[in-house]
Chains A and B, each alone.
Chain A
Amino acid sequence: MRVAGKGCVDRSKPVSFTFDGRRVQGFAGDTVASALLANDIKLVARSFKYHRPRGVMGAGSEEANALVTVGRGAHQEPNVRATMQEIYDGLEVRSQNRWPSLDVDLLAVNDLAAPFLGAGFYYKTFMWPKAFWERVYEPVIRRSAGLGSLSREHNADLYEKAFAFCDVLVIGAGPAGLMAALTAARAGADVLLADEDSTLGGRLNGECEDIDGIAAAEWAADMVAELASLPNVRLMPRTTVTGAYDHGTYGALERISHHLSDASGRPLECFWRIVAKRTILCAGAIERPIAFRNNDRPGIMSAAAVRTYVNRYGVAPGRAVTVFTNNDDGHRTARDLKACGVHVTAVLDSRNDGPSGQGYPVIYGAEVCDAGGRKALESVTYRTVSGEEKLGTDCLAVSGGWNPAVHLTCHMNGRPEWRDDIQSFGPVEGMVPGLTTAGACNGTFSTLGALQEGADKANDAVQALGFKSIDAEVPAAEDAPYNMAPLWAVAGRGRAWLDFQNDVTVKDVKQAAKENFRSVEHMKRYTTQGMAPDQGKTSSMGALAVLADATGRGIPETGTTTFRPPFVPVSIAALGAGAQGIGFAPERLTTSHEASVTNGAPMIEAGLWYRPSYYPKADETKWRQSCDREVQMVRNAVGVCDVSTLGKIDIQGPDAAVLLDFVYTNTFSTLKVGKVRYGLMLREDGTVMDDGTTARLGEDHFVMTTTTAAAGPVMRHLEYVHQCLRPELDVSMVSVTEQWAQFAVAGPESREMLAGIVGEEIDTETFPFMGCGEITVGGVRGRLFRISFSGEHAYEIAVPARYGKSLYQALVQRAEALGGGAYGMEALNVLRIEKGFITHSEIHGRTTAFDIGLERMVSAKKDCIGKTMSERPGLYGDEREQLVGLKPVGPVKQLTAGAHLFEVDAEPVRENEQGYTTSVGFSPTFESFLGLAFLRNGRARHGEQVMMVDHLRGVTTRCEVCDPVFFDSDGGRMRG
């Protein structure tokens, strides 16, 4: 019910939304929780395990009960805390974890079965028979378990990620945080102030007290206005700092448009990575409940939350409110309610003395031992020395004291320290380097104390950063003592809840202790206490106290479980912002991409690159038809293929050749200017790393090509070899892969074709096989390399990438005029298999130079990376699987890659395996499948027959072992 004249919601702006289809009216500034309470809607959720009716418990992100689903369809979002969701016109809210409805939840039978569903229930019940697990137990458990549900549609919302840097990060904008931020800002530091609430001010917005002679909320608003006016301050409302990481890095989730009916293109959330030189944690404290029988009834709330609803939202959560407290704070709830005319039934104070004469009845030495009413609280029963009494009430405000929100201080493996004075765990300075704590999260609970500490800690922080500290004037404020006498659980029969979100009771924790799960970490896992989305924010301390009691130890000896990030749930969508669909990975496109797509080429991924598979002609319905035609076109006329994706590294300097001699197995210092050489590169462990050609453009100038896949690793490797092993070499290198567009022009007509395009004369003199040099193409300086990956007379022509598109067009046009055209990856692959040229299918990380028959390329005259280790026994010899060619010779004509090789009469089992196939393709040149394979002692077995067995695809083919070079074995076509 609304209280006249109270709160900061804008009563001139009514807002309406729906809850389970029912229209609910609130005001601008309301949360779903405050609006529901204003409309006397007490039942908002069903509990996880027992489907108990639940209501709103708190007023912040620690809320354990009021989880709801917001939105519909692809925008549906489960497990939203009603206390954090601001309302807007048209907002659609639904309760969850119930069937068929919130009011009539048939799964509530679980509550009757409670005696069987206690701690360890899963472990004990579903053990036997074993076969039942997958077929019976798991499906049943899955159907009834889980909080909320996903839409199963693709997430249609926008998310963002961003980085921020600051001198001082202040986390939490309560009295300590506001004071810290202003102090640091006035000292000149670059300040970032983050708070998870929509309105900055923290508890000041929920309390009835004065600071500096004005209402606390007003004082907070003035402070925020002043901070907002300073150029060196950034305010981040609706932003929860979720984790503390190494070296001053913090994760933070900003909720940007959850509160807007029309986001106007703004993202829903932004995940921030904040780097701060110093951090002041002012995260406040979380009020703890007291466990007693049926303490989960809707209407039983945190006493501070009740104050927040009254003072901030102008909502009384009940018409006859009872307070149950073990400290002076609870009395403030009664005082505030009374001041605005809400009936206070009584304050039940578990202590034997405390404040009195405030105009409401107080019963000292009283403990609530039961609560009545199922879907809404109707009564409480309390016990004093003179017996039990029942009290009619529709709201019970409970204060069991406060726990400092130390979570972030523990994210780097720190443990909090027990403090007798506050009967709770407090932070330990230095657990997160650069982070200090102020205010309630440091156990300083009075407003004045928080203000003072905020100012002091900020001054310390700015001084450490080299700023001059300032004389911060701390205003007059509330400084009442805390006066708390611990009470964790009221003794008695029945179930008393500790963890509301995971339905864990006092009995469960005692049961765990009894079954010898005495360590707090074991108790947690056995009972699931603290393992719900709220991570035990309101329950861990109580559970710990009960466990300590049950095991006869003190709380500090019992210890705490580990606090880990994130502090609140963070959606994967926010963490992976931008990486959905097309943004999942960067796309690298060649300059011929558009032309390939226009000509109908299916594009395949090669690393991040996209390359054409083949270019279908109108009458071609199968890819093989196109591929076969393209292969024949290259063999008989001329083909053009974009090879720009190969890595290109420009290497310059007087010692360039020395470096190449050291990274390649063969020698490059002897290479003449204007020539190209094939090179083989090893890893230091002796296996092949990569291969490619390197051209010498000048005495001190080389251009290396790498395979597409290894472009990055080879660049890194060259820099490593230079900087870490041979820094004395005077050489520099840079990747120019994207600066040059490069096209293969292959086939008997290739020279004829280039004659019309290249300005210079091309003949055997100027461009012999493996020759290279500068050329002019339409007035543009380019490079020409006479190299071949097809076995044909071929060239690669390169121009600066900005001319790639037009050169490609010209090349294809000219090729077509000569009976040729463009060819794709499929044809390229067949052409190189026919020639026995290797790719990373063969040099896959386990093969040596010996295996691929290139051991003679490892120069005996010099050292190189990998040379010593390649000479180890076991890396060469008869036992090695060596590169061979395979041709089908039996009735089955198909070869498949990844199949295994066996002797003809051997049983095709692992023990008899002789090798495997790596690359296969149908060769139109030989009208047969051809394959490359590794076969044990293969080079000595040419002419033998083996069986290729593909167990996966069910193919068995009799093959002849042969030389891997099927086509033009003397290389006459290539050299000619």
Chain B
Amino acid sequence: MRLTCPHCGERDLREFYYQGDAVALNRPDPDATDVEWDDYVHNRDNPAGETRDLWYHEGGCGAWIVVTRNTVTHDVLCTELASDLKEASA
């Protein structure tokens, strides 16, 4: 498997650390409801198809990357810096 780091270019899977769903970017407000926090920390979808998850270029530049990929075809559709996405949504 190959992932394109926005900084370093296309790299082998083993340079990356896999974290999980990119929902982790959407941290609830401290005063949010228990349900929101429960969802954020524990509940994940397991889609057959497009998914967005967080990878860390640990063996490279140290960037956290949001990877949009298809769990059925294994196509990697898009890779973006998590910080760019987060700042854009701020």
CA distance A868 to B38 in the complex (A): 10
Write the A657-685 contact mask toward B (1 if CB under 8 angstroms, else 0). Answer: 00000000000000000000000000011
A570: shortest Cβ distance to chain B, in Å?
A: 18
Residue of B nearest to A725 (CB): B27
B14: shortest Cβ distance to chain A, in Å?
A: 9
Q: Is the CB of B56 within 8 A of A727?
A: no
Q: Is the CB of A727 within 8 A of B87?
A: yes
> B83's contact among A275, A723, A868, A869, by CB below 8 Å, is which?
A723
Q: Is the CB of A246 within 8 A of B25?
A: no
Q: Is the CB of B64 within 8 A of A273?
A: no
Q: Is the CB of B86 within 8 A of A868?
A: no
Q: Is the CB of B58 within 8 A of A716?
A: yes
Q: Is the CB of B62 within 8 A of A247?
A: no
Residue of B nearest to A727 (CB): B83
Segment 1-60 of B: residues with Cβ below 8 Å from A? 1-2, 12, 17, 19, 24-25, 27-28, 30, 32, 34, 37, 40-42, 54, 56, 58
CA distance A724 to B24 in the complex (A): 8
Q: Is the CB of B86 within 8 A of A725?
A: yes
CA distance A719 to B82 in the complex (A): 11
Q: Is the CB of A248 within 8 A of B2?
A: yes
Segment 67-90 of B: residues with Cβ below 8 Å from A? 74-76, 81-84, 86-87, 90
Known: A724-B54, A863-B30. Contact between A684 and B41, CB under 8 A?
yes
A728 close to chain B: CB less than 8 A: yes
CA distance A685 to B39 in the complex (A): 11
**Contacts of A863 on B, CB cut-off 8 Å?**
30
Tell me how many residues of A have a C-beta within 8 Å of chain B. 27
Q: Is the CB of B37 within 8 A of A868?
A: yes
**Contacts of B82 on A, CB cut-off 8 Å?**
723-724, 727
B67: shortest Cβ distance to chain A, in Å?
A: 12
**Contacts of B30 on A, CB cut-off 8 Å?**
863, 867-868
Q: Is the CB of A724 within 8 A of B74?
A: no
> A720's contact among B41, B64, B74, B87, by CB below 8 Å, is which?
B64
A245 close to chain B: CB less than 8 A: yes
Q: Is the CB of A720 within 8 A of B2?
A: no
A568 close to chain B: CB less than 8 A: no
Q: Is the CB of B2 within 8 A of A723?
A: no
**Contacts of A707 on B, CB cut-off 8 Å?**
none
CA distance A727 to B85 in the complex (A): 10
CA distance A712 to B37 in the complex (A): 26
A477 close to chain B: CB less than 8 A: no
Q: Is the CB of A724 within 8 A of B64?
A: yes
Q: Is the CB of B86 within 8 A of A412?
A: no
> B2's contact among A247, A727, A869, by CB below 8 Å, is which?
A247
Segment 866-921 of A: residues with Cβ below 8 Å from B? 867-869, 872
A249 close to chain B: CB less than 8 A: yes
Q: Is the CB of A246 within 8 A of B1?
A: yes
Q: Is the CB of B86 within 8 A of A724?
A: yes
**Contacts of A412 on B, CB cut-off 8 Å?**
74
CA distance A249 to B75 in the complex (A): 13
Write the A413-442 contact mask toward B (1 if CB under 8 angstroms, else 0). Answer: 000000000000000000001000000000
> A719's contact among B62, B76, B86, by CB below 8 Å, is which?
B62
CA distance A722 to B27 in the complex (A): 13
**Contacts of B86 on A, CB cut-off 8 Å?**
723-725, 727
CA distance A725 to B82 in the complex (A): 9
Tell me how many residues of B have a C-beta within 8 Å of chain A. 32
B33: shortest Cβ distance to chain A, in Å?
A: 10
**Contacts of A273 on B, CB cut-off 8 Å?**
12
CA distance A712 to B17 in the complex (A): 11
Known: A725-B27, A727-B83. Contact between A720 and B1, CB under 8 A?
no
Residue of A nearest to B3 (CB): A247
Q: Is the CB of B37 within 8 A of A869?
A: yes
CA distance A245 to B1 in the complex (A): 7
**Contacts of A724 on B, CB cut-off 8 Å?**
24-25, 54, 64, 82-83, 86
B57: shortest Cβ distance to chain A, in Å?
A: 10
**Contacts of A247 on B, CB cut-off 8 Å?**
1-2, 74, 76
B44: shortest Cβ distance to chain A, in Å?
A: 13
Q: Is the CB of A723 within 8 A of B76?
A: no
CA distance A496 to B84 in the complex (A): 66
B55: shortest Cβ distance to chain A, in Å?
A: 11
Segment 114-156 of A: residues with Cβ below 8 Å from B? none
CA distance A963 to B68 in the complex (A): 52
A439: shortest Cβ distance to chain B, in Å?
A: 27
**Contacts of B2 on A, CB cut-off 8 Å?**
246-249, 275
**Contacts of B84 on A, CB cut-off 8 Å?**
727
Residue of B nearest to A726 (CB): B86
Write the A378-390 contact mask toward B (1 if CB under 8 angstroms, else 0). Answer: 0000000000000
A150: shortest Cβ distance to chain B, in Å?
A: 29
CA distance A249 to B76 in the complex (A): 14
Residue of B nearest to A722 (CB): B83
**Contacts of B1 on A, CB cut-off 8 Å?**
245-247, 249
Residue of A nearest to B24 (CB): A724
**Contacts of B12 on A, CB cut-off 8 Å?**
163, 249, 273, 275
B21: shortest Cβ distance to chain A, in Å?
A: 12
CA distance A243 to B25 in the complex (A): 36
CA distance A723 to B19 in the complex (A): 14
**Contacts of A712 on B, CB cut-off 8 Å?**
58
CA distance A248 to B76 in the complex (A): 12
**Contacts of B87 on A, CB cut-off 8 Å?**
727-728
A875: shortest Cβ distance to chain B, in Å?
A: 12
A664: shortest Cβ distance to chain B, in Å?
A: 16
**Contacts of B90 on A, CB cut-off 8 Å?**
727-728
A429: shortest Cβ distance to chain B, in Å?
A: 15
B18: shortest Cβ distance to chain A, in Å?
A: 11
A410: shortest Cβ distance to chain B, in Å?
A: 15
- Residue among A248, A719, A872 with the highest chain B CB neighbour number at 10 A: A719
Residue of A nearest to B63 (CB): A723
B32: shortest Cβ distance to chain A, in Å?
A: 8
Residue of A nearest to B42 (CB): A685
Q: Is the CB of A720 within 8 A of B76?
A: no
CA distance A613 to B20 in the complex (A): 38
Known: A273-B12, A685-B41. Contact between A723 and B58, CB under 8 A?
no
CA distance A273 to B14 in the complex (A): 12
CA distance A720 to B75 in the complex (A): 25
B62: shortest Cβ distance to chain A, in Å?
A: 6
Q: Is the CB of B63 within 8 A of A246?
A: no
A218: shortest Cβ distance to chain B, in Å?
A: 40
Q: Is the CB of B41 within 8 A of A869?
A: yes
Known: A684-B41, A725-B25. Contact between A716 and B76, CB under 8 A?
no
Segment 683-738 of A: residues with Cβ below 8 Å from B? 684-685, 712, 716, 719-720, 722-725, 727-728
A711: shortest Cβ distance to chain B, in Å?
A: 13
B66: shortest Cβ distance to chain A, in Å?
A: 9
Known: A246-B1, A724-B82, A727-B86. Contact between A716 and B41, CB under 8 A?
no
CA distance A685 to B38 in the complex (A): 9
**Contacts of A433 on B, CB cut-off 8 Å?**
75
CA distance A712 to B34 in the complex (A): 31
Residue of B nearest to A735 (CB): B62
CA distance A163 to B13 in the complex (A): 13
**Contacts of B17 on A, CB cut-off 8 Å?**
716
Residue of B nearest to A872 (CB): B34
**Contacts of B24 on A, CB cut-off 8 Å?**
720, 724
Which residues of A are interface residues toward B (Cβ below 8 A)?
A: 163, 245-249, 273, 275, 412, 433, 684-685, 712, 716, 719-720, 722-725, 727-728, 863, 867-869, 872
12 A–B pairs (Cβ distance < 8 Å), ordered by A: A248-B2, A249-B1, A275-B2, A716-B58, A719-B64, A720-B24, A720-B54, A723-B83, A725-B27, A727-B82, A727-B86, A868-B32
Query: Assuming A684-B27, A720-B54, what are 13 further A-B pairs, CB within 8 angstroms?
Result: A247-B1, A248-B2, A249-B12, A275-B2, A412-B74, A719-B56, A719-B64, A723-B83, A724-B25, A724-B54, A727-B87, A728-B87, A868-B28
**Which 8 A/B pairs are nearest by Cβ-Cβ distance?**
A727-B83, A247-B2, A246-B1, A723-B64, A723-B83, A724-B82, A863-B30, A727-B86
